[in-house]
Amino acid sequence: MTKPIAVIIGVGSGLSASLARILAPQYDLVLAARSIEKLGDLAQETGATRVATDASDPASMAALFDGLKSAPRVAIYNPSSRVRGPINELDPEQVRQAIEITAFGSFLMGQAAVQKMLGNDLVEGRKGTILFTGASAGVKGFANSASFAMGKFAQRGLAQSMARELHPKGIHVAWVNIDGGIRNPDRSERLDGDTPDSMLNPDAIAKAYLQLINQDRSAWSDELVLRPWVENF
């Protein structure tokens, strides 16, 4: 049988790689990133197709979804960008670019995915699932991180609006608040010997995404908060 298609946008070596691995047994994967050369090993491991995509460019996003063999059943948006610094010193152009990647890119993917998913048949009460990777910055703005807060607040609002519009049409939309640091094998991480699980395990996050994808529509979540057990509330 032909596998349904899952699109993951903003693929690297961390969470998105874990998502690809957990979805690969059930889905025909399409991995999209600005630079796809680094995705060779992951694509071979998961049998995925790689597509070079500028997530903040409407034409590039449209080309990604128009090039799919069939309408996707799952679409996940991971890219985000930030410019750190005092508000009075931020470069407006850099801030604009950061917001375009985090917020406008989310809209572009959401729109393109919905346009395709609406044509899907209902399977177990759904036509498709759209997930946005959020952050605690979408709930509370931090000092010297205005661009990230603006982008994530906008992304969260988009997801809420889409959920209310699309859940009755069979498309499950949810925003996932990653409220803590994620381990990444390509970066040197701070690991506390007394609290070895102080950073979120990307494989554990991926399992939570899969649970969202498989949720019964009688109890769909539109927002999920994931945080390490040692995080201060």
In whole angstroms, give the CA distance from residue 26 to residue 23.
6
pLDDT category, 231, cuts 50, 70, 90?
confident
Q: Write out pLDDT tens, residues 81-127.
A: 889 999 999 999 999 999 999 999 999 999 999 999 999 999 999 99
- Helix (H) or strand (E) run with residue 50 in it: strand 49-52
In whole angstroms, give the CA distance from residue 127 to residue 23.
17
Q: Write out pLDDT tens, residues 38-66.
A: 999 999 999 999 999 999 999 999 999 99
**Per-residue b/e over 185-207, b at no fewer than 16 CB within 10 Å?**
eeeeeeeeeeeeebbbebeebbe
pTM above 0.85, yes or no: yes
DSSP 97-156: HHHIIIIIHHHHHHHHHHHHHTTSPPBTTBSEEEEEEEEGGGTSPPTT-HHHHHHHHHHH
In whole angstroms, give the CA distance from residue 110 to residue 180.
25
